[in-house]
Structure 1
């Protein structure tokens, strides 16, 4: 490789280097990134001085920070565009991700009609439809299409809720990846926006929710403070519950609940159509502690659990009783019934005992993992990564369950008529199927909502092995391997490990770009998740966070020792909390992997709680105000553990300028520190997207470009000579 060096000066006076790469077979050196100024700062925590030379990069309003970011983007762009076979990779990624194949998500059934979010490339964003028949979604009408109102693809649907009669649908709509959603109501027969807009229902920090009254004349909803009601810094906190009557000014909405809720409260609300009772589930930040309230039809609120009670999820049965998941004396969860939560809120009747597998919980506007129909109870269980729906009668006795794929995941449970449900099922090698379970006949029927793929994984095998972590814990490792792979070869290892979130099998067509080039893809179910119950989660949060990194390291070394790969052929990848995992792994084990892909990650653990979403993370990570938490976080904080002259792996950081969950300054500071630590080492790149956030609502064209950069980066550093795939 031949390098042509071009030097120029930034307006700040420091030398900034940009480079152009021409490919030849003889050299492999690396140009210098843009220089980063330092501004030494010292903080004192519990008698310990902590130095920070990059504090200035936290202030996005500073023109010098914006200029620095632009230089980093230019450096990353020139580096990535010069990699081998970029255009061929772009063509293949675009072919797969832009294929005119339709998929559906978030299906609801209301008023005898079906509603769904439809994804239809090459449209930038998904859109909302309504249809009459599960086997004929092509006959749907479009209710709201963000692509029509915003041709740039930066407007998206956060979530939606149809009214019980199916006449109206409430949609939370946000822009630019902010997730700050106002709710609009649409007439489902005409697709026209009607009534008034209710502002600030959703945020990227506390989320948001909404539930209609039984007669569809209004809804209960989560409300964030509006300008002037609290200090500017508190507008994404102090979420409360209000009621809105259609056709009235939202400024006059009725307050329902939340005066004494925590600053970092997150609310989920449900209404029982038979009784008019309202259920309010409240989480204290993101740490898995809940309290629960029920409102009688007369308007009286009753609390039936408190934070710390280990009652972690509640839902109505059709008759107005409450079913709940509790971890009291049952770390993997058991099901109890509250026969009369309004008048006897402490009475709990056992229904389904704790099992060897873990009851899955759901929150943040997710489809239910626990559902009661007329005379059945559907429960989702986690099996250490894969998940499964099981069925019981109202007394907890097992009944026949739907047919499900092996080593797969289930979700999206939606009640239909009687005891029937709709749900989705997918595996690592089979696309998502939407299935109708006919309970009376114990028959599982594939619907026309099921996804198709323009690539097949028939030449891919899935193996599930276990790595042994530092303390002897057995860690599941899911190995998706092309049949053509023999011996040690290029491999990408993915992990997350936080918030009790389960990494479940899922079909990702874009992974074909890796697999068809002989790259093995592996997912590790490490601690911090909930794959083996709450103890698995607690074993990887707060002062136990180091276990997460040890588990991931053990997964990597297992793959090397078993001959799947070598350190020179290993890439590690993760995002968000998984970005923290990447940062900790590369600083603790710099010689483990050849390259790192880290997206929207957390790297400065001592400053994270000061960002808008940081307070919500304290129950998961801890706070520097607690000396034990500080000591643990300081020990693994990636930013504070970068060492000068260490040879770190090639690393690319992705971030979104509008990310409401992880402040982009985290990626800026980590990039600056790593680039300065070993100026002559492998490249450290920062790629900041101006019109995206945490990633979930990023438009298709941006997702394609990120995938091109990611794959080109991986292929180059793993030594993969990209070949045009042979048609099958």
Structure 2
């Protein structure tokens, strides 16, 4: 008996030692509750953490500080963080380059030496000229939090107008640089958001902006009455010419584009994230000609061919087609079909001197075809393999073209092609510390109850056992007609190298199969998005890729909503949940910044009792329950996110910490001087990933490297 007791003591000591290696469930900060109650169609809905919507108040800042302290204390105790950070920096440290753009005699391209916080914009005269730095965003701030958000070159390459973002905000400031000398001019435009920059010759450009918001509300105020202006180089913003303002519809956005010939201005209007209006006018005329103001179609200008506008549109073609528009008689009734709708989604079209490159998606993978200007298919371009194409650049007075190609196990390379000779060569190929030949990508379809087939891209090491033992990261988005195609992502390498399976679920709500696939996951169909995702998890378990409790579920923005909803509905499936910058309060999302534009996908809680009840039924914030065993949760948000304001994540985690009494950690990671994701400096991106992987590996019981 004494010997038995001795072994029990040794065992308990070993268990205790093991448990002390890492963090335990933390003690969460107390979050005060208020008596705020909203009434929707007779239903009372408490909102006890409403005060957290004011992210500028001292009380909220104190709450954030306490949450950050608890999260950091937990994450820093995870023993293998340093290994993850070391490997991430190793694999991230390779040269990256962007597809070149030619304007006049100049060629422009971006480049990053490896760990630079922001990519640098270069210019050279001719494709073989001596390159020089035109703009280095890393010199705009000490910490890399000022990013180059957009740029546009005047037609002959004399000037560059460029927009910067500070701290990840959607707000932009536009400056003008002389290309030949690299000198910045005095031009400085403010309160620009959701805007294009379109040059008219070398004299000036069109852009869109809002009136200045009230001080202290820059990151939360409702964005209303966007206006289009013309800015002449060298003049003050106060002198800019107002080109268009809609005084009747405050919740509409407008952007303008100059046509190829510089004779007409094309005006796009949007009232949501989907569908647009189209109007055209001569540059020096005040009369707008209506092309389509139904707001029922997605239409965009491709270029001018023999005096007619080619447009990409889903007008009577949910998978898109190309039509010709006469700019002097542009009404939609007069459009002529050039390339009919295909069985696959036409994602984009790009014009050279003699040809058009059409970019199709087949099961979310890219295919490129070359057409002539009669709309006849000439040939298919050979790609390096199954994957995705981005940043196609054609030259209107030449038949050369460039495009960026990558896939899960093929790092991004730039391909140069001669469309006339039908020849291609690699223009740039990076050297990455990653052997893609050791990994395999599979395309698997799962059958939904209604007959739809949901495509899953699955990536893993060759030769893994399908015995249910593998950790699996399941990613999804499912909204706004957006498609995340197969793409090389250096951020996935630590996961794949440590035996993880990565799955991208192409669920409904996206645009994988056109507008029908998108609409199948919107408004009163939104639950179908969650069902598709849950089905994917169940099928992956059934196929032996993983098992319950070994799945980490990840998504951002609308994907953060997805994660929050499925974790509420099927917490038993997942071991870890990683919702980032998510839309968590489905009853109030439309009250902040640009949230009103999402109603085309979501519907609004104030539009009808039926819509309110539907939103209330899946809203992540409102469906957290007591007595449920939730997975480990790490929420990600940022203090400068003025698209999905951090209040969504604040209120969600406060509610989860209040109601969940189990042992799994439920924490929030709040980044400073960062926004919705775009322009995030490399240093912050790596820090965030180290925390994400440390949290995920630790809570799935995986010790990496």
Instruction: Quickly name the TM-score band, shorter chain normalised.
Output: over 0.9
Contact persistence 1:279–1:315 (CA under 8 A): no
Q: Residue 124 of structure 1: which of 104, 117, 125 is its match?
A: 117
Q: Write the mapping of 1:274-353 to structure 2, written as runs, cut at 5 A.
A: 274-286=261-273, 288-299=274-285, 300-342=287-329, 346-353=333-340
Q: Write the mapping of 1:196-215 to structure 2, written as runs, cut at 5 A.
A: 196-201=187-192, 203=193, 207-214=194-201
**CA distance in 2: counterparts of 1:309 and 1:210, whole angstroms:** 25
Q: Does 1:437 align with 2:428?
A: no
Q: Write the mapping of 1:78-157 to structure 2, written as runs, cut at 5 A.
A: 78-97=73-92, 99=93, 101-105=94-98, 107-134=100-127, 139-157=130-148
Q: Write the mapping of 1:349-364 to structure 2, written as runs, cut at 5 A.
A: 349-360=336-347
Pick which of 603-612 and 582-591 moved more.
Answer: 603-612
**CA distance in 1: counterparts of 2:157 and 2:473, whole angstroms:** 45
Pick which of 639-648 and 338-347 moved more.
Answer: 338-347
Give how far 1:72 is off. Answer: 1.0
Paired position in structure 1 for 2:520 = 539
Pick which of 550-559 and 417-426 moved more.
Answer: 417-426
Q: TM-score, normalised by structure 1?
A: 0.90
**CA distance in 1: counterparts of 2:173 and 2:399, whole angstroms:** 34
What does the per-residue CA deviation read over 1:344-373, in whole Å, with 9 as the maximum and x for residues that have no partner?
66411111111110122xxxxxxxx22233
Q: Write the mapping of 1:459-478 to structure 2, written as runs, cut at 5 A.
A: 459-478=438-457
CA pair 316-29 structure 1, distance change in 2 beyond 3 A: closer
Q: Write the mapping of 1:631-646 to structure 2, written as runs, cut at 5 A.
A: 631-646=613-628
**CA distance in 2: counterparts of 1:165 and 1:373, whole angstroms:** 17
**CA distance in 1: counterparts of 2:179 and 2:671, whole angstroms:** 35
Q: Residue 669 of structure 1: which of 626, 630, 651 is its match?
A: 651
CA pair 26-91 structure 1, distance change in 2 beyond 3 A: closer
Give how far 1:297 is off. Answer: 4.1
Give how far 1:325 is off. Answer: 2.5
Q: Does 1:562 align with 2:543?
A: yes
Paired position in structure 1 for 2:9 = none
Give how far 1:62 is off. Answer: 2.5
Q: TM-score, normalised by structure 2?
A: 0.93
Give how far 1:722 is off. Answer: 1.6
CA pair 26-509 structure 1, distance change in 2 beyond 3 A: closer
Q: Does 1:704 align with 2:704?
A: no
User: What secondary structure sits across from 2:601 in the alignment?
Assistant: helix
Q: Does 1:399 align with 2:374?
A: no
Contact persistence 1:430–1:507 (CA under 8 A): yes
Q: Does 1:193 align with 2:184?
A: yes
Q: Residue 56 of structure 1: which of 27, 51, 58 is its match?
A: 51
Paired position in structure 1 for 2:12 = none
Q: Residue 205 of structure 2: which of 219, 239, 242 is its match?
A: 219
Give how far 1:161 is off. Answer: 0.3
Paired position in structure 1 for 2:606 = 625
Contact persistence 1:296–1:342 (CA under 8 A): no
Contact persistence 2:21–2:78 (CA under 8 A): no
Give how far 1:517 is off. Answer: 0.6
Contact persistence 1:494–1:574 (CA under 8 A): yes
What does the per-residue CA deviation read over 1:604-646, in whole Å, with 9 as the maximum and x for residues that have no partner?
1101111112112122211111123212211110111000121
Paired position in structure 1 for 2:155 = 164
Paired position in structure 1 for 2:13 = none
**CA distance in 1: counterparts of 2:26 and 2:212, whole angstroms:** 49
**CA distance in 2: counterparts of 1:223 and 1:312, whole angstroms:** 22
Q: In angstroms, what is the RMSD of aligned CA positions?
A: 2.2
Paired position in structure 2 for 1:8 = none
**CA distance in 2: counterparts of 1:717 and 1:484, whole angstroms:** 25
Contact persistence 1:380–1:389 (CA under 8 A): yes
Q: Does 1:527 align with 2:522?
A: no
**CA distance in 2: counterparts of 1:67 and 1:378, whole angstroms:** 54
Q: Residue 388 of structure 2: which of 409, 420, 442 is its match?
A: 409
Q: Does 1:423 align with 2:403?
A: yes
Give how far 1:649 is off. Answer: 0.3
Unaligned runs of 5+ in 2: 1-15
Contact persistence 1:274–1:319 (CA under 8 A): no
Contact persistence 1:371–1:379 (CA under 8 A): yes
Give how far 1:179 is off. Answer: 2.6
Paired position in structure 2 for 1:584 = 565
Contact persistence 1:530–1:536 (CA under 8 A): yes
What does the per-residue CA deviation read over 1:573-609, in whole Å, with 9 as the maximum and x for residues that have no partner?
1111100000001001010111111111111110111
Contact persistence 1:426–1:507 (CA under 8 A): yes
- Number of aligned residue pairs: 683
CA pair 60-25 structure 1, distance change in 2 beyond 3 A: closer
CA pair 577-27 structure 1, distance change in 2 beyond 3 A: closer
Give how far 1:546 is off. Answer: 0.7
**CA distance in 2: counterparts of 1:597 and 1:54, whole angstroms:** 22
**CA distance in 1: counterparts of 2:51 and 2:331, whole angstroms:** 56
Give how far 1:265 is off. Answer: 3.0
